Amino acid sequence: MSLPRAFLSFDFDNDSDVKVMFAGQAKKDSPTPFAVEDWSSKTALPQAEWEKLIKSKINNCHMLIVLVGKNMSTATGVVKEIEMARAQNVPCFGVYVNGAGATSTLPTGLARKSVTAWKWESVANMVDQCANLGKNAGAAGWA
């Protein structure tokens, strides 16, 4: 059986380094194995082309994980990725990174109850919840 695939959504301008760390640690530290697909766009693309590409990639995943950093209010791409996941019934949750916490601004569409600390036991619990929901099981985790 293949591992559930997760699309990582993150603030490209402020949290790229933590995305690399999260993806690397997920392979060895998570009690619930899951595959992090590095499907973020590697180059700047026209908006319509970027949206088509990312929508397709999110559709090929079992969940979307939002790395919630301190500068989420400026991460417009994250909001669009959450909207795309929601439209395709892909479950979503967030993980606080880079000093963000319970009082940090969340991107539109991500419910506070669906964000957890970066502790692998907590992340694994959220992955399990998403896996149990399955794609097209409803819009869990939406505000």
- The gap from C-alpha 133 to its chain's centroid, in whole angstroms, comes to 16
Stated length of the chain: 143
Q: Is 8 helix (H, G, I), strand (E, B) or coil?
A: strand
Would you kindly state where each structural domain of the chain is located, as residue ranges? Answer: 5-133
| Domain 5-133: which CATH number of 3.90.400.10, 1.10.10.60, 3.40.50.11530, 3.50.50.60 | 3.40.50.11530
**136 falls in which pLDDT band (50, 70, 90)?**
very low
Question: What's the pLDDT score for residue 133?
Answer: 76
Whether the predicted model's global pTM rises above the 0.85 cut? yes
E-assigned strand segments in the chain:
5-9, 35-37, 63-68, 92-96, 115-116
Beta carbons of 16 and 41 less than 8 angstroms apart: no
Each residue's pLDDT tens digit, 44-103: 778 899 899 999 999 999 999 999 999 888 889 999 999 999 999 999 999 999 999 999
